[in-house]
Amino acid sequence: MAQALYIHWPFCLSKCPYCDFNSHVRDRVDQAAWAEALLTDLRHEHAVGGQGPLRSVFFGGGTPSLMPPSTVAALLSEAERLWGFAERVEITLEANPSSVETRAFAELEAAGINRLSAGIQALDEAALRLLGRAHGLAEARAALDAACARFERVSFDLIYGRPGQTLDDWAAELSAAFAYGTEHLSLYQLTIEPGTRFATDARRGVLVMPDPDLQADFFALTRQLAADAGLRPYEISNHARAGCESRHNLTYWRYEDYHGVGPGAHGRRGGVATARHRKPENYLAAIRNSGHGIQEERRLIIDECVTEALLMGLRLTEGVDLGRLRRRFGAAVDGALDHRRMAHLQTLGLLRHTCDRLWLTEQGMPLLDAVLGEIVRCEPQRTVTA
């Protein structure tokens, strides 16, 4: 039974050079048409997707803080009517720190948002320019001040391991971030994704990334300083005070079911994988023609479910609950693991394994992708979450 709902808003004011998310820049957005399309898709998802109540709702993008607050309110009202909301439901919206979006914080809170995730990305003016962000440092600080004053729960994102960045630079930036006292930080190492402008720049030698040893030092410093500040690293890139982890993202990482609506949104419900049309115009056409935005709907085979569950769960500091997976998927769980290689990685101090749990050590976490390739028998595939 899916207890989480993801709603994707595909539009941005500009495309960041590192971003490979499903985001689009359009001169004009018909807000009324989009509100009705998302509501239609929401109703279809409920009709085929079972019962609630929902324990989390997440508005992602794109830039969902560009949605009219009235649309946010309408979607939440309809989701609550259809599924019901659990007590203390977590309702998150991603926001960029432009002055226009910051002014909408009060209306977004009134619409039902109780957790804000701010796309700050850097607390450094030159870095913001490098990352192609539309906001400057003053706007970032103003947005954080406004968010902390307005919302019960606040998280924000920062990107590290940037070209030219030193460990001392990053330590100072983290110190400034910790001073806001937010309960959660998402701290991502800059990666070069195919099809982005940064990928082209790196190929041409215009963008020079830190060498692997320095990247490893950035990762270790990030986890240590965050932990020292009371923000436990509970996932490879996410840090939170005890009890303040993102409930919605834990749904993905623990391989629980979730609904996904909106352009490009993926879902997992009852052993069925769903994927919506990515291009906004194709999504709207599907809504008009079919009454929903689904492009693909297929039943997952057990081996695929197990592989996805392992790939997602090993991102967590807590690791994978093998007992729970065996109750869901039976012998396929142990069949998907290469126990000989697991034993070798344990001797290297990279992995821990008991009868009911499998997790990476602090030394193994920076080598996550390599470890997964060693221990998961099924061919690793990109697990796309909404």
pLDDT tens digits, 195-206: 999 999 999 999
The pLDDT of residue 380 is: 39
Query: In the predicted model, is pLDDT for residue 222 greater than 90?
Result: yes
Taking residues 335-358, what's their average pLDDT?
95
Contact 88, 152 (CB under 8 A): no
Rounded-to-integer distance, Cα 34 and Cα 72, Å: 11
pLDDT band at 1 (very low <50, low <70, confident <90, very high): low
The pLDDT of residue 49 is: 86
pLDDT tens digits, 249-302: 999 999 999 999 999 999 999 999 999 999 999 999 999 999 999 999 999 999
Contact 226, 187 (CB under 8 A): yes
The pLDDT of residue 52 is: 81
pLDDT band at 381 (very low <50, low <70, confident <90, very high): very low
Query: In the predicted model, is pLDDT for residue 100 greater than 90?
Result: no
**Residue 87: HSE in the Cβ half-sphere, 13 Å Cα cutoff:** 0
Query: In the predicted model, is pLDDT for residue 2 greater than 90?
Result: no
Rounded-to-integer distance, Cα 100 and Cα 69, Å: 12
Round the average pLDDT of the chain to a whole number and report it.
94
Residue of 321 and 385 predicted with greater confidence: 321
pLDDT band at 44 (very low <50, low <70, confident <90, very high): very high
Q: Which residues does 310 contact at the CB level (< 8 Å), separation at least 6?
A: 320, 336, 337, 358, 372, 376
If you write DSSP's letter for every residue of 57-120 in order, what string do you get?
EEEEES-GGGS-HHHHHHHHHHHHHHH-EEEEEEEEEEE---HHHHTTHHHHHHHT--EEEEEE
Rounded-to-integer distance, Cα 212 and Cα 296, Å: 38
Domains within the chain, CATH numbers bracketed: 4-252 (3.20.20.70), 303-375 (1.10.10.920)
Closest to 317 measured CA to CA, from 271, 272, 363? 363
Rounded-to-integer distance, Cα 248 and Cα 81, Å: 20
This model's pTM is above 0.75 = yes
